[in-house]
Amino acid sequence: MTAQVLDGKAAAAAIKAELTERVAALKAAGIVPGIATVLVGADPASQLYVGMKHRQSEAIGMNSIQRELPADASQADVEALIDELNADPDCHGYIVQLPLPKHIDTDAILERIDPAKDADGLHPTNLGRLVLNVNNPIHTPLPCTPRGVIELLLRNGYDFTGRHVVVVGRGVTIGRSIGLLLTRRDLNATVTLTHTGTVDMPRYLREADVIVAAAGVKHLIRAEDVKPGAAVLDVGVTRESDPETGKSVVFGDVHPDVAEVAGWISPNPGGVGPMTVALLMTNVVEAAERLL
Active site residues: 53, 97, 120
Tell me whether residue 170 is annotated as binding. Answer: yes
User: What whole-number distance in Å separates Cα of residue 245 and Cα of residue 134?
Assistant: 50
> Is 121 assigned to a binding site?
no
User: SS3 of 104, please?
Assistant: coil
**From the centroid of its chain, how far is CA 232?**
16
Ligand-binding annotation for 169, yes or no, is yes
Q: Is the dihedral of CA 68, 123, 52, 249 positive or negative?
A: positive
Report the distance separating Cα 237 and Cα 268, nearest Å.
8
* Measured CA distances, 132 to 137, 147, 197 (Å): 12, 18, 28
Q: Which residues of 195-213 are buried (b: 16+ CB within 10 A; e: fewer)?
A: eeebeebeebbeebbbbbb
* Rounded-to-integer distance, Cα 154 and Cα 290, Å: 24
| Euclidean distance between CA atoms 180 and 171, whole angstroms | 14
H helices of 162-206, in order, are 178-182, 201-205
Q: Are 199 and 187 in contact (CB under 8 A)?
A: no
Query: Is 162 a known ligand-binding residue?
Result: no
Task: Write out the binding residues for NADP(+).
Answer: 169-171, 237
